[in-house]
Amino acid sequence: MSSAEQKPSDMDRELKIDTVEHLEKAPQTEDEKLAREPSLNSLSITRSWWDNRKAIAVATFVNFAAFEYGLDQGTVNGFQAMPGFLMVFGYADPNLPGGFGISTKVQQLITSLVALGMLVSSFLAGPLMLWLGRRAGISIGCLLAIVSTTVQIAVSNAAGLYAGRLILGLAKGFLLTGAYLYMQEVMPASLRTLNYTIFIFWVNFGNLVGSIINNETSVKLDRSSYRTPLGVLYIMAVILPIGFWFLPESPRFLALKGNREGATKALRWLRG
């Protein structure tokens, strides 16, 4: 046999190298095999709104949390001028139109305490939702909204009103952070602009509804003039937790917790 015949060809050496590299890259453990399964990657994500109609419906529902933010903006400035509110939290002054006024300190605290509550809860929402989940964080926001609304309706002194406004700020932080985080993890990338549009729609719609309700109740001369607009906040705070019983947790959150099967099931439901 000649020396040329004994020497392996370049093609044989390349084939051997490719085979070794393939074996080295092959999954060695069960976790690696699961990671390469097509269960998650095989889910088609299309640009069609109709194909993603379930995700869009979920976005419309979850972003309802922003309705509370807009509603409060539309009502809080209006009912501060209502006689029923001024009789309780203002002061009598016959030289003013309507015979009542309100101090700038009260007006400033009514607004700034909400902002303070949102600042605090925005920092707390992230770690808490990483621990309990996105749905739990939104539900906590709804519970705080119910408490804050009840306090604002029931109290008849400035200290109680301040407490209610601070709690409302805490609720807003959880609601807005939770809703936006949940939907960013659920919506297909091609529809996240639509998700933001729906979010802004609910803010503006809440603002409009608040202004209309204020206009209708401003003619009343008792405490119902401002209690009625506040009471509308209960609608969102009750509907959202009930609806979340029928929605899956964020697939990303489930995957972070090691629940690959649950993440796959949730994603298939949302994309179905």
* pLDDT tens, position by position, 69-80: 889 888 888 888
pLDDT at 42 (0 to 100):
45
Question: How many CB atoms sit inside 10 A of residue 255's CB?
Answer: 17
Best-predicted range by mean pLDDT among 18-22, 45-49, 210-214?
210-214
What is the overall mean pLDDT for the chain?
81
Query: What percent of the chain clears pLDDT 90, i.e. is strictly above it?
Result: 29
So what's the pLDDT on residue 103? 84
Local confidence band at 19 (pLDDT 50, 70, 90 cut-offs): very low
Q: How many residues does the chain have?
A: 272
Kindly state the percentage of the chain with pLDDT values over 70. Answer: 82
pLDDT at 205: 94
Give CA 93 to chain center in angstroms.
Answer: 43
Least confident window among 39-53, 95-109, 166-180 = 39-53
∠ Cα 232 237 241 (to 5°): 150
User: Greater confidence, 47 or 272?
Assistant: 272
Q: Indicate the pTM of the whole model.
A: 0.77
- Tell whether the model's pLDDT for residue 221 goes beyond 80: yes
- 7-28 burial code (b ≥16 CB/10 A, e <16): eeeeeeeeeeeeeeeeeeeeee
